[in-house]
Structure formats: C-alpha cells, structure tokens
Amino acid sequence: MSGTVYGVGLGPGAQDLLSVRADRLVRGGRHVAYFRKAGRPGQARRIAQGMLRDDAIELAMEYPVTTEIPLTDPRYNDCLAAFYADCTGRLLAIAEAGEDVVVLCEGDPFFYGSFMHLHSRLSGLVPVEVVPGIMGMSGAWNATGLPITWGDDVLTVAMATLPEEELVRRIRDTDALVVMKIGRHLAKLRRAVAAAGRSDEAWLVEHAAMPEQRVARLADVDRVTPYFSILLIHGQGRRP
C-alpha cells in the first residue's frame, strides 16, 4: 500500500496556533518536506522548529526562482513547472514506497500556497490529504485588534503584483480589503490606495503572530519586509 502525502497548514507563524491534527502530524512525521528559498531555512520549517522527531528525514524543496524573473516572462512558468514536477517525483517515490510524507505549509495549503501545485500533480496517483490552517491574513487582522468585516461587508483579497490601475479599482470597489505579496510593490500599492481615496484607512502588518510582529498605519511605513507583509482596510458595515 502507498503512503499518504499530507499538506499540513501551520497557520500564520506561532506553534500554538496549529490545529491538534496538524500538531500530531508534524510531531509524528518520519518524512517531512517543506519549501524554501536557496540559502534560507524556510518559514514553514522555522515555524516547526523543535517539533520534529529526532529521526525525521527532511526534504527541502528549494525554489529555483522567486523574484529574479518577471512573472510575465515565459521562463518563469517553465522554470517553476519543472521544479514542481521534480518535487512531485520525489514525494511520489516516498509515498509509493509505503511511507507517509508531511509537507509543511505556511497558513492554509489551499490559499495561495505552493502545495496546491503538488496537490494537482499528485492527486489520483497516491492518497493526498490537506489539513487546513489559520491563514496569515487572519493573523494579520487580529493583530490590529479590529474586526475585518461587519454585517454585509464585502471582503476582497488582492495581490500587490496586480497592475496599478487594477489595484485602484479593487481598492475603491470593496468594503474590506486584504493585499498580499507586497514586497517590492509597496510604492505602487501606496499610490493605488491614495488614488482610491483610502490612505487614512490602510494598515500594514508584518510577521503576524510571530515574535517580530509589527502593526502600523500605511502612512507611517516607508518600507516593508519582502515577505510576510499584509495590507488591511477594515470594513465599516452594518451592525446593531
């Protein structure tokens, strides 16, 4: 019988925000895989620090490219497609040998996560199960101490990688907003928020639920970390 590949959501960054099921799988997994940038430990692995069993066999899946090639360049998709195919083969070999594999995933595996690309390739070949996790944006809006939505508010989740005019439209047309993948796009995002007339409402949260967490008004921030930065605009909708 083949083993199972588990995509395990680790939540926004704190170990005590893992689900009971996720905690059990992470602590009990003999084969543990995770994504990371070359030369970095990887945020998912960092969250699980101290949780893995002593004899755990780790499989680091290192991205061949992150921001070095523009998203619009055909080489970007070609490079990542080959990478995900290779990762799939490595996980498949372990599962077909009868061993389970736990893939550590930041946030929730099915919410803009890299595990989705493995799931689509592994499904139908070996058993694949997903363990939901608290999403990073949830950790971020809770860090502000304010509800993100009220009543009939519409919440929009957008990527800062979108064209500026598209960001302006999305920001203007929604009640509540989450913008992810800010990184090098802070200046563009700031212009879009201003053009939509919502600068006074915008917050930036970095490293939500992590020791280095920072919460600030967008107007007070001139730079952000490349990763783990989220912009929020809270809804102000119907309430009793």
H/E stretch holding 169 reads helix 164-172
Give mean pLDDT, residues 141-147. 97
Q: Which residue has the higher pLDDT, 75 or 167?
A: 167
Q: Are residues 81 and 195 in the same domain?
A: no
pLDDT tens readout for residues 197-234:
999 999 999 999 988 999 999 999 887 766 689 999 99
Pick from 91, 114, 131: which residue ends a domain? 131
Q: Is the pLDDT of residue 50 over 80?
A: yes
* pLDDT (0 to 100) of residue 226: 62
7 pLDDT tier (thresholds 50, 70, 90) = very high
Write the CA distances from 89 to 51, 95, 96, integer angstroms.
26, 10, 10
CATH number for the domain that contains residue 83: 3.40.1010.10
Q: Is the pLDDT of residue 47 over 90?
A: yes
65 pLDDT tier (thresholds 50, 70, 90) = confident
pLDDT tens readout for residues 154-183:
999 999 999 999 999 999 999 999 999 998
* pLDDT (0 to 100) of residue 72: 74
Q: Are residues 127 and 10 in the same domain?
A: yes
Q: Is the pLDDT of residue 15 over 90?
A: yes
H/E stretch holding 37 reads strand 31-37
Q: Are residues 150 and 121 in the same domain?
A: no
Pick from 111, 131, 151: which residue ends a domain? 131
Domain extent, residue 166, equals 136-233
Pick from 79, 107, 131: which residue ends a domain? 131
CA nearest to 212, candidates 190, 233, 227: 227
CA separation for the pair 127, 236 (Å, rounded): 43
Q: Are residues 36 and 100 in the same domain?
A: yes
CA separation for the pair 160, 25 (Å, rounded): 33
Q: Are residues 58 and 95 in the same domain?
A: yes
* pLDDT (0 to 100) of residue 38: 86
* pLDDT (0 to 100) of residue 223: 76
Number of domains observed in the structure of the chain:
2
pLDDT tens readout for residues 79-138:
999 999 999 999 999 999 999 999 999 999 999 999 999 999 999 999 999 999 999 999
* pLDDT (0 to 100) of residue 180: 95
* pLDDT (0 to 100) of residue 122: 98
67 pLDDT tier (thresholds 50, 70, 90) = low
CA separation for the pair 19, 11 (Å, rounded): 8
Q: Are 192 and 186 in contact (CB under 8 A)?
A: no
* pLDDT (0 to 100) of residue 176: 98
Q: Is residue 240 part of a domain?
A: no
